[in-house]
Amino acid sequence: MSTSFEANFDGLVGPTHHYGGHSFGNVASTSNANKAANPREAAKQGLAKMKALADMGYKQGVFVPQERPAIGLLRELGFAGEDAAVLAAVAKTSPGLLANVSSASSMWTANAATVSPSADTRDGRVHFTAANLQNKFHRAIEHGQTTRSLKAMFNNDAVFAHHDALPMQAVFGDEGAANHTRFCHDYGKPGVEFFVYGRQHWGGETEPQKFPARQTREAGEAIARLHGLSADKLVFAQQNPAVIDAGVFHNDVISVGNQNVLFSHETAFLRQAAVYAELDAKLGGGLQVIEVPLAQVSVADAVKSYLFNSQLLARGDGRQNLVVPDECRATPAVWEYLQGMLASNGPIAELMVFDLKQSMQNGGGPACLRLRVALQEQELAAVNPHIWMNDQLFTRLNNWVDQHYRDRLTEADLVDPQLITEVRTALDELTQILHLGSIYPCQLS
């Protein structure tokens, strides 16, 4: 029996899930702006994925949403009065601001933090650094709550170490695990931590010209120092600027890795062959690369289908399962490639297809929805036990969603003061269900 595991903590979609188109550079986000969203369906789609993976024996946890709209922040920006008055004033003078402070984007917990397991760190603890997400205002306001949530989930200083977000400056732009992958032969043994960046602030080379490079090399280097990682087990690679300009806003839209398998597009990185060689060498050999040719799957189809925003999940037979969104099946070139890949009898043994349309239309697929944490058996016991998905929690959370979530939400609905009451009531109950204590502004004020 293995004594080390990779656990996934999926973001529970929040009650204010709407299509605001806030994320410049994320094609799905901007192209679906102003459509009506269904928060209830979005949350249930995410819960269904969590339950399916838990039923297969994977360690599956729940990561809570943030309190939105962020009324406290609006008050810091000069809006005064009762909550209803604040909403009315900001809706009148700056509706874009209201939509941003109401975003449910924290559901994409791949952006919540960067995590290094104890096998890799100098002090033998699991390290978390909350991502500053400074490139986008609606996400840059998340990291304080992210840290509080992580501490409530991983609340044992002897086992877990929590770091505040990096300085809120472009030079340290950090998007969390969406640009970080760990390769290993065993989750409990030292691995290679792979930091992908879009640009290097000091001494960098080429950069994208159309869309921003959100992650910097300097951010990855700072996190590696904070986590006490060994230089001989680190690989830094620059994402291809051309694919960023094609809508690949994070590395997890163009590649994904797990254990000794890397599934990537032919155009993912600069100096791609050298990147593969360095990863293999620092892993001690045995890296298996599945490279998808541009001639078979275009970058546009990869972005549209979120082929690489998938989850690689280890199996007991040494191969992997691949979790993909239903959009892959709806994209002919991608589906044809996947069928051929399965027939090749390579490292990926099985496809698992999920309907995540509500998240996908806002620009996030299966990989965006989860934060990966490699844990030893004794560390697993130190995690808040109430956040693990099981039959009882699945039923309870679905009932909770039915009770508190709307089935339709547009930007025009964000001015409704009743929505604030609905959200705060829901989150207060959620913290009780998951035994998280008081972590939200509405509970701490």
Active site residues: 175, 250, 368
Judged by phi (left if over 0) then psi (alpha if -120 to 50, else beta), residue 21 lies in left
Per the listing, tokens 């962020």 go with 70
Say how far apart CA 188 and CA 195 lie, in whole Å.
20
Residue 367 and residue 307 in contact, taking contact as beta carbons nearer than 8 Å: no
416-419 long-range CB contacts below 8 Å, 24 or more apart?
A: 416/87, 417/83, 417/84, 417/87, 419/15, 419/16, 419/69
Integer CA distances (angstroms), 28 to 247, 324, 335, in order: 9, 16, 19
Q: Strands 180-183 and 192-197: what pairing?
A: antiparallel
Say how far apart CA 355 and CA 366 lie, in whole Å.
10
Neighbours of 189 (CB within 10 A): 11
Distance spanning both ends of the chain, measured CA to CA: 47
Residue 151 and residue 116 in contact, taking contact as beta carbons nearer than 8 Å: no
Q: C-alpha angle with apex 356: 353 to 361, nearest 5 degrees?
A: 130
Peptide bond into 325 cis (omega under 30): no
- Rounded to the nearest 5°, which phi and psi values hold at 232? -80, 0
Residue 414 and residue 39 in contact, taking contact as beta carbons nearer than 8 Å: no
Say how far apart CA 437 and CA 235 lie, in whole Å.
38
**DSSP, res 344:** T
Say how far apart CA 25 and CA 33 lie, in whole Å.
13
Per the listing, tokens 């309907």 go with 355
Residue 135: closest CA among 224, 197, 66, 70: 197
* Structure tokens given for 282: 């620092």
**DSSP, res 165:** P
- Rounded to the nearest 5°, which phi and psi values hold at 427? -70, -35
Residue 237 and residue 269 in contact, taking contact as beta carbons nearer than 8 Å: yes
- Residue 129 pairs in a beta bridge with 114, 163
